[in-house]
Amino acid sequence: MEGKNTNFLRSALKAKEVGILLILVLLSVLIQLKNPIFFTFSNLMDMGRNTSYTLIIAIGMTFVLIAKGLDLSVGSLLAICGLISALGMQGGIPVVLSVLLGLLAGAAFGTFNALCIVKLKIPAMIATLGTMYMARGLVLVITKGQAVYPLPDSFTAFGKGSLLGIPNVVLLAVALAAIAHIVLTKTTYGRKVYAIGGNAETAGFAGINVAKITASVYVISGVMAALSGIMTAARMGSGQPSVGDGTEMTVITAVIIGGTSLNGGAGTMLGTILGALLMNVLSSGMNLVGVSAYWQKFVMGLIIIVAVGLDQYQRGKRRS
């Protein structure tokens, strides 16, 4: 029994996520020393809530990056799908159906991305960049720059609500991350996602339908972006046209800090969770410590370089 425990400890220490976990802990301790508000329940829940909106999209992005793809459209999809749900509710469609409508829209945009990439062979970066502008444009056309509100109370109540003190959105994000972890590590589908990201040609020769799996990750990404958009609308009580601007970069950063490789074939959900957390602890921590907003972007950039640099260094060491 003891042997098993030490084995577990040893493999846990060897895990790739240890580095980023250490940074996260260290950072938290530093912030706490400067400002004891950090480790209060309400602040932690606040950070958890903020992290969750990023994390939900990052779950989809992890699938995309593992499959050696890229999805720049998530920020715009967040906006348009949240908006579609909000418009549905204003138009008298029941809340649950409106939410479904928003998710469906996410799936439809994801499918559009997938078709451009798989059928038209447009590089993922270009295809999703196009979708990003088109979706953002549609948002502005529909709203003419105006927010859509008010939204039904039952909807906003869910967005702002909590269970046993834990915000609903946190519970949702954690549950989805857990499911995504299981899908990636335990199912044949997950294995195929890693395989096409690791080497699409080999995967094809092994009988994997590369086009189908590639398409699927963009649909997942679209739905996740939609869900995050709907939860954002529920929290704000309105559909905002400018919401999610630049979110794609935050999300991609979180996933990459979490150890997922842009070269495809590698990455974990645990890493993505830690990456999303780190991004958030950092920004809220800097506020708590009183770092000027001007410096915050700089520090964020520095952290990306340090985190990915450390990861590369570790990989190099493991290889030799």
Partner 1 sequence: MEKILELKNVSKSFGKVSVFRNIDLELYRGEILALVGENGAGKSTMMNLLGGVYPCGQYEGDIFVKGNVCRFRDANDSKTAGIEMIHQEISLHTELTVAENVLLGNWKESRGLIHWKNTYEEAEKYLKKVKLDVEPKTMAYNLSTSQQQLLSIAKALATNPQIVLFDEPTSALTETDADNLIGIIKDLSKNGISCIYISHKLEEVFALADRIAVLRDGNLISTYAKEKVNVDRIIEDMVGRKLEEMYPKRKLPIGEEALRVEGITIPHPYVKNKNLVEDVSFSVSKGEILGFSGLVGSGRSETMNAIFGSLKKSAGVVRLEGNPVQIRSAKEAIGMGIGMVTEDRKKTGIIAPMNLRENMTIASLDMVSSGAFINKKKEKSISGEFYEKLSVKANGIEDNIMNLSGGNQQKIVLSKWLMKDIKVLILDEPTRGVDVGAKVEIYNIITELAEKGIAVIMVSSELPELLGMCDRIIVLSRGRVTGNIGRDDFSQECIMRAATGVETWGI
**Residue choice 60, 75, 239, 265 for contact with partner 1 (CB under 8 A):** 265
Nearest CB to partner 1, comparing residues 105 and 196 = 196
Q: Give the nearest distance from C-beta 316 to partner 1 in angstroms.
A: 12
Contact 238, 143 (CB under 8 A): no
How many angstroms separate the CA atoms of 65 and 252, rounded? Answer: 9
Give me the 180-209 binding string for partner 1, x by CB under 8 A, dash otherwise.
------xxxx-xx-xx-xxx-xxxxxxxxx
Q: Give the nearest distance from C-beta 249 to partner 1 in angstroms.
A: 25
Contact 258, 276 (CB under 8 A): yes
Nearest CB to partner 1, comparing residues 74 and 184 = 184
Among 78-86, 106-114, 235-243, 263-271, the segment contacting partner 1 (CB under 8 A): 263-271
CA distances from 204 to 149, 196, 208, 210, 265 (A): 48, 8, 5, 6, 15
Nearest CB to partner 1, comparing residues 242 and 312 = 312
How many angstroms separate the CA atoms of 167 and 170, rounded? Answer: 5
Residue of 306, 209, 264, 281 whose CA lies nearest to 62: 264
> Is residue 266 a contact point for partner 1 (CB under 8 A)?
yes
Torsion sign (Cα): 71, 73, 75, 78: negative
Contact 60, 114 (CB under 8 A): no
Nearest CB to partner 1, comparing residues 33 and 206 = 206
> Is residue 308 a contact point for partner 1 (CB under 8 A)?
no
> Is residue 235 a contact point for partner 1 (CB under 8 A)?
no
Nearest CB to partner 1, comparing residues 193 and 307 = 193
Nearest CB to partner 1, comparing residues 149 and 194 = 194
Q: Give the nearest distance from C-beta 266 to partner 1 in angstroms.
A: 5
Q: Give the nearest distance from C-beta 60 to partner 1 in angstroms.
A: 19
Cα end-to-end distance, the chain, whole Å = 33
Contact 82, 102 (CB under 8 A): yes
> Is residue 130 a contact point for partner 1 (CB under 8 A)?
no
Contact 258, 275 (CB under 8 A): yes
How many angstroms separate the CA atoms of 198 and 67, rounded? Answer: 7
> Is residue 261 a contact point for partner 1 (CB under 8 A)?
yes
Q: Give the nearest distance from C-beta 64 to partner 1 in angstroms.
A: 16
- State which of positions 98-117 bind partner 1 (CB under 8 A): none
Kindly state the DSSP code that residue 167 receives in the 8-state scheme: E
Contact 167, 49 (CB under 8 A): yes
Kindly determine how many residues on this chain lie close enough to bind partner 1 according to the rule CB under 8 A. Answer: 26
Q: Give the nearest distance from C-beta 201 to partner 1 in angstroms.
A: 5
Residues forming the site for partner 1 (CB under 8 A):
186-189, 191-192, 194-195, 197-199, 201-209, 261, 263-266, 320
